[in-house]
A and B are shown apart, each in its own frame.
Chain A
């Protein structure tokens, strides 16, 4: 069953056309990896899905659970269950991490008509996630992403994912800047969310992360289009031959 369908998507940033008739279907509960050379449009694709202000859609459509989302506000897409783990999470001085996380969670609970959590309930719910990610508890009392190392920022993204329990999870270069321990912990967090219902879109240009999060599908993106879709067996081939050797489907 498909949860998200991208059809003939054309998008530009500034004057530059980047996505040029992109087609992609995400199957619910599966892990989709998007691979491709620099400049192929990988990050633009993730920005377009979440409604980033840089991107202007000039053609085509994105449907999520059968509804077009291309005119939805970013927060509405988020509340509907679409999550992006940012490649470069921004620092927000003075905003307490725990307060931010609880506000985000409560916004979602409220949207779903559920009861919001108080501070104590929230901290209890967080504790296990922090341990799994190897995050010190003082990380959540610091200002959001401020002064965090690269690895801490990525862990904090995964922490948000674990708390918000989204349905479609986009991981944009999640492995960049991670050492081997951090990579293992972050992957553990991601794998914990793999329950056969949640859908992943893993954007990467190295195959390293795919050793930890096993993809069901590999999509090769080149010059603003998906040129090939295959199973995980494509990964070793790409490693050996690079993207140039790929023939369009």
Chain B
């Protein structure tokens, strides 16, 4: 299909690739115990935290980088990365946050000014630039409800008991190579605690921005939903367009107690690199939730459009009886992007239920892999799982792969798996064009139709953002 406009629009469409022009405190590249001491001191951490970091580093040094993913990338030199970078003049009051950072966040569509937020839906934001949280909004208002919403650094200082109890409880320190690295060097991230019986009065969100060069981002997020509570949390991210790869290795731990619910949504838009595979974020992330109590519920929804490499399997440990785990995912790979993503559903409690809806979209030279595990322990009597993995191919150079794994020790468990692979057919495009719809609009209409089950899980305003992002990502991928 000849359309010059489309051909020229193919790459360089990453709109968030700007750099915030601020002075940055950055340490020399390299990783040893002194690095950890430096980070810990910068964060004014108690001694016990530094000890844990050192323990993690020692474990990490004995481990090897995993390569079972269907991913092909140049080896990462961990000694050439700088593990701490922070905008200078880090302060607390909004008036004192560097106006350039505020401006940058406005550009990303996020207001850090509580007064300026549009009437209607309030969204509390934790803004993280490189290694530090620069601002957390609505903390005071949330405090009135007993909700703690702050950076993880603050939580380590102010709520050590909660942190000691739950950090590493879902993702153990040496769970895997990247998690161990994160445990040693994590810099900032978000901490949330929702007390018993409280329904969090507003959407919570964190926006991660990598800005400095040659750094990695290693954030750590911990969310605890106490009995009968409810929270909806959203994360977003972006990074400047750079020729080098940057490493992002995060850990997210969710703890859901009896009758509580966490809805966790991600719109991942790290810089994807160019069409030859130059630049882009290496995204190695460990996300896991544990439904500790009866009737606990967790729902992961992710829209993954960015990163050169994505290695990510948000998982649910369904320990409480009748607990529910859900995973809704749209992963897009275009340009030379590679994604190996999916989920793990571990059924332990009785009558536990899980749902997996995965939609992979590949265009240009993108490679998209779904890798998922459904494990039903013998204790999980009456467990049920439904999985649906659909792939959509645009063009002929891309690829889609599906690796569903099933381990069932309960012969009565019900497991259903469906998988489809389809192409946007010329016939579908032509039909829409014959009705006066442009080729690009026709592609996005078909893609939205494909993603509908997942987008419908996102909070309204994020669903709108996700649609727009998808359109932008796939702009020009038909040609």
Q: Which of A78, A143, A160 contacts B449 (CB 8 A)?
A: A143
Contact indicator A79/B436 (Cβ below 8 Å)? yes
Contact indicator B431/A94 (Cβ below 8 Å)? no
Nearest-Cβ distance from residue A167 to partner chain B, whole angstroms? 13
Contact indicator B432/A94 (Cβ below 8 Å)? no
**A45-56 contact mask (Cβ, 8 Å, vs B): 1 or 0:** 000001011000
Q: How far is the CA of A73 from the CA of B439 in the complex (A)?
A: 10
Q: Does A57 contact B (CB under 8 A)?
A: no
Residue of B nearest to A52 (CB): B430
A90, A92, A108, A164 interface centre (most CB from chain B within 10 Å): A92
For A90, list chain B residues within 8 Å (CB).
425, 427-428, 431
For B426, list chain A residues within 8 Å (CB).
53
For B432, list chain A residues within 8 Å (CB).
92, 100, 104
Contact indicator A107/B450 (Cβ below 8 Å)? no
Q: Does B93 contact A (CB under 8 A)?
A: no
Q: How far is the CA of A114 from the CA of B432 in the complex (A)?
A: 21
Q: Does A25 contact B (CB under 8 A)?
A: no
**B415-441 contact mask (Cβ, 8 Å, vs A): 1 or 0:** 000000000011110111111111101
Contact indicator B436/A164 (Cβ below 8 Å)? yes
For A83, list chain B residues within 8 Å (CB).
434
Contact indicator A103/B450 (Cβ below 8 Å)? no
Q: Does B97 contact A (CB under 8 A)?
A: no
For B1, list chain A residues within 8 Å (CB).
53
Residue of B nearest to A93 (CB): B449
Contact indicator B433/A78 (Cβ below 8 Å)? yes
Query: Could you tell me which residues of chain B, from 240 to 258, have a CB within 8 Å of some CB in chain A?
Result: none
Q: Which of B428, B433, B445 contacts A75 (CB 8 A)?
A: B433
**B108-148 contact mask (Cβ, 8 Å, vs A): 1 or 0:** 00000000000000000000000000000000000000000
Q: How far is the CA of A113 from the CA of B449 in the complex (A)?
A: 28
For B446, list chain A residues within 8 Å (CB).
92, 95
Nearest-Cβ distance from residue A80 to partner chain B, whole angstroms? 9
Contact indicator B449/A104 (Cβ below 8 Å)? no
Q: Does A111 contact B (CB under 8 A)?
A: yes
Contact size range, B: 20 to 34
Contact indicator B441/A103 (Cβ below 8 Å)? yes
Could you tell me how many residues of chain A have their Cβ less than 8 Å away from some Cβ of chain B? 28
Contact indicator B433/A73 (Cβ below 8 Å)? yes
For B431, list chain A residues within 8 Å (CB).
86, 89-90, 92
**B436-479 contact mask (Cβ, 8 Å, vs A): 1 or 0:** 11110100011011111100000000000000000000000000
Nearest-Cβ distance from residue B474 to partner chain A, whole angstroms? 15
Q: How far is the CA of A89 from the CA of B432 in the complex (A)?
A: 10
Q: Does A29 contact B (CB under 8 A)?
A: no
Residue of B nearest to A95 (CB): B449
For A73, list chain B residues within 8 Å (CB).
3, 433, 439
Nearest-Cβ distance from residue B73 to partner chain A, whole angstroms? 33
Query: Could you tell me which residues of chain A, from 47 to 79, have a CB within 8 Å of some CB in chain B?
Result: 50, 52-53, 73-75, 78-79
Q: How far is the CA of A95 from the CA of B453 in the complex (A)?
A: 11
Q: How far is the CA of A95 from the CA of B122 in the complex (A)?
A: 31
Residue of A nearest to B452 (CB): A94
Q: Does A84 contact B (CB under 8 A)?
A: yes
Q: How far is the CA of A84 from the CA of B448 in the complex (A)?
A: 25
**B394-430 contact mask (Cβ, 8 Å, vs A): 1 or 0:** 0000000000000000000000000000000111101
Q: How far is the CA of A129 from the CA of B430 in the complex (A)?
A: 25
Decide: A95 near B448, CB < 8 A? Known: A52-B430, A53-B1, A74-B430.
yes
For A84, list chain B residues within 8 Å (CB).
434
Q: How far is the CA of A90 from the CA of B425 in the complex (A)?
A: 10
For B437, list chain A residues within 8 Å (CB).
75, 103-104, 107
Query: Could you tell me which residues of chain A, from 126 to 178, have a CB within 8 Å of some CB in chain B?
Result: 143-144, 160, 164
For A164, list chain B residues within 8 Å (CB).
435-436
Residue of A nearest to B431 (CB): A90
Contact indicator B452/A75 (Cβ below 8 Å)? no
Q: How far is the CA of A83 from the CA of B428 in the complex (A)?
A: 16
Contact indicator B448/A94 (Cβ below 8 Å)? yes
Nearest-Cβ distance from residue A93 to partner chain B, whole angstroms? 6
For A75, list chain B residues within 8 Å (CB).
433-434, 436-439
Residue of B nearest to A143 (CB): B449
Q: Which of B428, B436, B451 contacts A107 (CB 8 A)?
A: B436
Q: How far is the CA of A92 from the CA of B431 in the complex (A)?
A: 10
Decide: A74 near B448, CB < 8 A? Known: A53-B1, A90-B427, A103-B441.
no
Residue of B nearest to A101 (CB): B435
Nearest-Cβ distance from residue A4 to partner chain B, whole angstroms? 16
Contact indicator B434/A74 (Cβ below 8 Å)? yes
Nearest-Cβ distance from residue B447 to partner chain A, whole angstroms? 9
For B433, list chain A residues within 8 Å (CB).
73-75, 78
**B1-27 contact mask (Cβ, 8 Å, vs A): 1 or 0:** 101000000000000000000000000
Contact indicator B445/A103 (Cβ below 8 Å)? yes
Q: How far is the CA of A80 from the CA of B428 in the complex (A)?
A: 21
Known: A75-B436, A94-B453. 13 other contacts (CB 8 A): A52-B430, A53-B430, A75-B433, A75-B438, A75-B439, A90-B425, A90-B427, A92-B445, A92-B449, A94-B448, A104-B435, A107-B437, A164-B435
A: residues with CB less than 8 A from B are: 50, 52-53, 73-75, 78-79, 83-84, 86, 89-90, 92-96, 100, 103-104, 107-108, 111, 143-144, 160, 164
8 tightest A-B contacts by CB? A94-B449, A95-B449, A104-B435, A78-B436, A74-B433, A107-B436, A75-B433, A79-B436
Question: Can you sample 5 A-B contacts with CB below 8 Å?
Answer: A90-B427, A92-B428, A92-B431, A93-B449, A107-B441
